Amino acid sequence: MSTAMSADGKTALTGSFDNSVGFWDLQTGSVTWLESHEAAVKSTVFLQDGAAASGGDDFAVVLWDLDTATERMRLTGHQGQIKALAYAPERGILASASWDGSIGIWDATTGENLQFLKGHNAPVNDVVFSGRARELYSTSADGTIRFWRLDDPGKGDVIIRHGFGTTEILIDEDADWLAYGAVDGGTRVLSLSTLDEIADLTLERRPILAMAASPDASQIAVGDGEGYIMVVDTASWRIKHDFRAALKGPVWALSYNAQSTALLAGGIDDAAYLWPVGVEAGPLFSDNTRAFLRDPETMSNGERQFQRKCAICHSLTSSSERRAGPTLKGLFGRPAGTVPDYTYSETLDGSDIVWGDATIDALFDLGPDHYIPGTKMPMQRIVAPQDRRDLIAFLRDNT
């Protein structure tokens, strides 16, 4: 779900549905797992002096000491997942974009919350600093991009109304451009100073899920929900490369290496891939076909419901397998919050819920956020009673 490259190009970070942050040595290929999040990790960023930060579905930002691979501090206060992080080394501050509709500004050394910016009326998807970290831009599912003056933030000025949700944003102050992506596939470049359109890079693919700018400022890369990576020359704003990076599934994360010669990309596969820029033989991701990407017509209705709602987070084996949720093996008759190899939220710790036909039905009828307020489970419902009954039958047969 997230990638980040160190400034010296020697190490990388990856964040995943398995609740973990991978800290990779790119010279040896070795990895150290940073374990503290209680849900999927959606954002990662390098800080200074051997430190890093990550944010996830557990509503927390974690500051890491990379030398000891330990949690240094946990930053709390958001009431929704942390979708993106931005770091401003010149001021030593960190910004967190949350699906609770707010943006947190933190002292990256002490962990002190300096302020919460509130103005978007929907989840915030991305943030980027400008003006020597005195200003900030943000994108949101409300379809806008807002500009914030951190010394006098107010509710932020709406500078772009795209209509569909805006997902990603990049800026280059020296070259005077702003690029953004959106849910409808919109990919546009504007003058940062005048907001006049410079280029429309929109293709027939949606949504835009990842954007990265090369350190040498010569190109940007765009990843979408259909598995493609587009590389664009920033001098001419022409597409240099456009290739399918995944046989199936999205491109969720992109980061350039320090030399601007390779992209670290992540998607639905269990690995991240370092892809030489300009090489278009592929696919980038292995053909690790997920069950939920199979032809729905080959499955029973109960299995379809499971693959759509459950499979990405839960296994049916005896282990939770570094998943975002606990294993479902032995589910029926099991008290909630009792799988030994999984860390639960406080809401489920000591819960009196016992999983069975009635409780599973209520979970998806009402939605996890209403049935178990405070749960880490994503907000989702299965509205049709027959679909819920078919899911329960499938789970009974397979757990």
Q: Which range among 6-15, 194-203, 306-315 shows the weakest confidence by mean pLDDT?
A: 306-315
Task: Report the greatest alpha carbon distance in the chain.
Answer: 62
Measuring CA to CA, which residue among 196, 172, 170 is closest to residue 187? 170
* 239 plus 351 within the same structural domain: no
Question: What's the pTM value of the predicted model, to 2 decimals?
Answer: 0.82
> Is residue 348 situated within a structural domain?
yes
User: Is residue 76 in a domain?
Assistant: yes
253 and 219 both lie in a single domain: yes
pLDDT tens, residue by residue, 186-245: 999 999 999 999 999 999 999 999 999 999 999 999 999 999 999 999 999 999 999 888
The tokens describing 170, both together, are 């990049």
Among 116, 47, 52, 112, residue whose Cα is nearest residue 78: 116
Same domain, yes or no: 271 and 328: no
CATH number for 337: 1.10.760.10
44 with 95, same domain: the answer is: yes
The pLDDT value recorded for residue 280 is 60
* Residue 219: predicted pLDDT: 97
Residues 278 and 240 sit within 8 Å (Cβ to Cβ): yes
Residue 311 has what pLDDT?
85
Give residue 351's pLDDT.
85
pLDDT for position 302: 94
Is 308 found in the same domain as 234?
no
| Structure-block tokens of residue 206 | 């949606």
- Distance of alpha carbon 109 from alpha carbon 73, whole angstroms: 9
CATH at 200: 2.130.10.10
Tell me what pLDDT residue 289 has. 62
Name the amino acid, one letter, at 351. Answer: S
Is position 161 within any domain?
yes
Q: Look at residue 338 and tell me whether its pLDDT is greater than 80.
A: yes
Quick: pLDDT tens for 30-49: 999 999 998 899 999 999 99
Contact 253, 3 (CB under 8 A): yes
**pLDDT > 90 fraction of the chain, expressed in percent and rounded:** 77
pLDDT score for 282:
55
Q: Is residue 200 part of a domain?
A: yes
Please check whether residue 174 lies inside any domain of the structure: yes
Q: Are residues 315 and 245 part of one domain?
A: no
Q: Among residues 126, 124, 129, 117, which one has the least CA distance to residue 142?
A: 124
Residue 291 pLDDT grade (very low, low, confident, very high; cuts 50, 70, 90): low
Residue 189 in any domain: the answer is yes
| 115/260 same-domain check | yes
Residues 305 and 269 in one domain: no
Q: Give residue for tokens 């005077």.
A: 176
For residues 263 and 297, membership in a common domain is answered with no
Distance CA 87, CA 63 (A): 12
147-165 pLDDT, tens digit per residue, is 999 999 899 999 999 999 9
**CB-based contacts of 298, cutoff 8 Å, min separation 6:** none
Statement to judge: residues 245 and 318 lie in one domain? no
* Residue 388: inside a domain: yes
Give the domain-ending residue among 276, 304, 339.
Answer: 276
| Interval 63-74: pLDDT, tens | 999 999 999 999
Question: 110: Cβ–Cβ under 8 A, 6 or more apart, which residues?
Answer: none
Mean pLDDT for all residues in the chain: 92
Is residue 256 within 8 A of residue 229, CB to CB? The reply is no
Query: What pLDDT is attached to residue 141?
Result: 97
Query: How does pLDDT run across 376-395, given as a tens digit for each residue?
Result: 777 789 999 999 999 999 99
Is the pLDDT reported for residue 281 higher than 60? no
For residue 284, pLDDT over 80 is answered with no
* 277, two tokens: 């820029």
Distance CA 230, CA 239 (A): 7
Q: Which domain holds residue 342?
A: 291-398
With beta carbons less than 8 A apart as the criterion, state whether 57 and 102 touch.
Answer: no
| 128 and 82 fall within a common domain | yes
Total count of domains within the chain: 2
Q: How confident is the model at residue 15 (pLDDT cuts 50, 70, 90)?
A: very high
For residues 40 and 16, the answer to whether their CB atoms sit within 8 Å is yes
Q: Is residue 61 part of a domain?
A: yes
Question: Is 128 a residue whose pLDDT tops 90?
Answer: yes
Q: Which of 276, 304, 327 is the last residue of a domain?
A: 276
Residues 49 and 102 in one domain: yes
